[in-house]
Amino acid sequence: MEEPDIFYEQQNLHLENLTFPPLSAMLTTMKENTTPSPQTILIADDNKVIIRLMKELLTNAGYLVADVSSSEQALTVIATIQPDLILLDVDMPGVSGFEVCRVIKQNPLTKEIPILFVTGCAERKDIIAGFDAGGQDYILKPFTKEELLARVQTHIALSKARQELQASVLRYRNLSVLDDLTGLFNTRYLYQTLDEQICSHKQHPISIIFIDIDNFKKVVDTHGHLNASSTIAELAEIIMQGLPENSYGVSYGGDEFVVVLANHDRKQGALVAEQLRRAVEEARFLTFCDLAVHITVSCGVATFPDDAHTLTELLDNADLALFETKRKGKNAIISFSEITNPTTFC
């Protein structure tokens, strides 16, 4: 079939109706489709002869192949199966393949899928239009088996390499801000992020909780350093499980932790601290090695902007509240406002 000029008048016909299914549905599908499987290729073409030919060649090469004959069907299938590569006809009925490509590339969940245009138009302006739309390559009709498979294999390999690189970058980025033992954020992340939060939350409270294990030296002396480290890791898990929305935990060093609570005032911060304290008190540690170690924690709470106006003041005042908790007998929580104004919580 001879291809018409791709810049035809109906290029934008019904484009306003060309959309993906809801994002939540796509995320659910992605979570369900996590089992490793052969690479999946979607063919979007209204020419049944071309579909049959490509499908046979790709299936024989070990790929899973799905096919559609319209732009709307293409977006629905892409959202459902998340293909590893798309073979997209330029001359799709109603809406051009270029416009379909643009929609795919605008969606954060599908923008990394390589798209190879299949066309009989080899003019320079057509090729440039395809790359401008976000396509990775062209397959010109008529094509050979060797060319089709070579281009498909190359772009799937490039896509996989790019995904692995992105995963490595993310992994190393996480390593720079995560504590190895606990999996919580480290102080580097705390200082940078909390300072940014204070600058951007002038009208919203931020509470922080300093948490320290009571009599931790006794745990070390009784059960050894390795088991003591395991105790810290288990405590970190309790903290993570007890974190409300818009909050995060930090390993502050040794047996100390910090919890940052965005949009939490004094009383809300104290409530979270008490919930965490009680959860630790009720837990038993080192059960994996047939022990049932009981520990408690002391907590100090300070709130921005009521108790402090800077990062340093906020951390210092929460630390002072923690010190006061330790001085008064441990296994409790004290807010900085109780030190400066004992009637605050009355």
Beta strands at 137-140 and 115-119: parallel, antiparallel or unpaired:
parallel
Q: Which of 157-166, 252-261, 315-324 has the lowest mean pLDDT?
A: 157-166
Question: In the prediction, which pLDDT does 346 show?
Answer: 46
| One-letter-per-residue 3-state SS of 169-211 | HHHHHHHCCECCCCCCECHHHHHHHHHHHHHHCCCCCEEEEEE
Q: Which residues contact 343 (CB under 8 A, 6 or more apart)?
A: none
Checking if the pLDDT of 28 tops 50, the result is: no
Superfamily of domain 187-340: Reverse transcriptase/Diguanylate cyclase domain (3.30.70.270)
Q: How confident is residue 65, by pLDDT bands cut at 50, 70 and 90?
A: very high
Residue with tokens 């907590």: 299
Question: In the prediction, which pLDDT does 5 show?
Answer: 34
Question: In the prediction, which pLDDT does 232 show?
Answer: 97
- Residue 19 vs residue 156, higher pLDDT: 156
Mean pLDDT of 41-45: 94
Question: In the prediction, which pLDDT does 281 show?
Answer: 97
Question: In the prediction, which pLDDT does 14 show?
Answer: 45
The residue type of 123 is E
Question: In the prediction, which pLDDT does 4 show?
Answer: 35
Long-range contacts (CB closer than 8 Å, 24 or more residues apart) made by 143-148: 143/118, 145/57, 148/54, 148/57, 148/58
Enumerate the β-bridge partners of residue 40: 64
Our measurement of the distance from residue 242's CA atom to the centroid of its chain's CA atoms, rounded to an integer in Å, reads 20
Quick check: helix, strand or coil at residue 328?
coil
Checking if the pLDDT of 30 tops 50, the result is: no
Q: Read off φ and ψ for residue 80, nearest 5 degrees.
A: -85, -45
Question: In the prediction, which pLDDT does 201 show?
Answer: 73
The residue ranges of every structural domain in the chain are: 9-175, 187-340
Question: Which has the closest alpha carbon to 319: 298, 305, 344, 342?
Answer: 298
Model confidence pLDDT, tens digit, residues 109-168: 888 999 999 988 778 888 898 999 999 999 998 899 999 999 999 999 998 888 888 776
Question: In the prediction, which pLDDT does 72 show?
Answer: 87
CATH of domain 9-175: 3.40.50.2300
Question: In the prediction, which pLDDT does 285 show?
Answer: 96
Enumerate the β-bridge partners of residue 85: 41
| Cα–Cα distances in angstroms (integers) from residue 322 to residues 160, 205, 242, 275, 281, in the given order | 49, 20, 19, 16, 17
Question: Which has the closest alpha carbon to 38: 54, 58, 60, 62?
Answer: 62
pTM of the predicted structure, to 2 decimals = 0.56
Question: Which has the closest alpha carbon to 81: 62, 64, 58, 56?
Answer: 64
Beta strands at 206-213 and 256-262: parallel, antiparallel or unpaired:
antiparallel
Question: How far, in Å, CA of 141 to CA of 48, rounded?
Answer: 14
Question: In the prediction, which pLDDT does 335 show?
Answer: 96
Checking if the pLDDT of 329 tops 50, the result is: yes
Model confidence pLDDT, tens digit, residues 85-117: 999 999 887 788 999 999 999 888 888 999 999
Element containing residue 112 per DSSP (H, E): none
CATH topology match: 9-175 vs 187-340: no
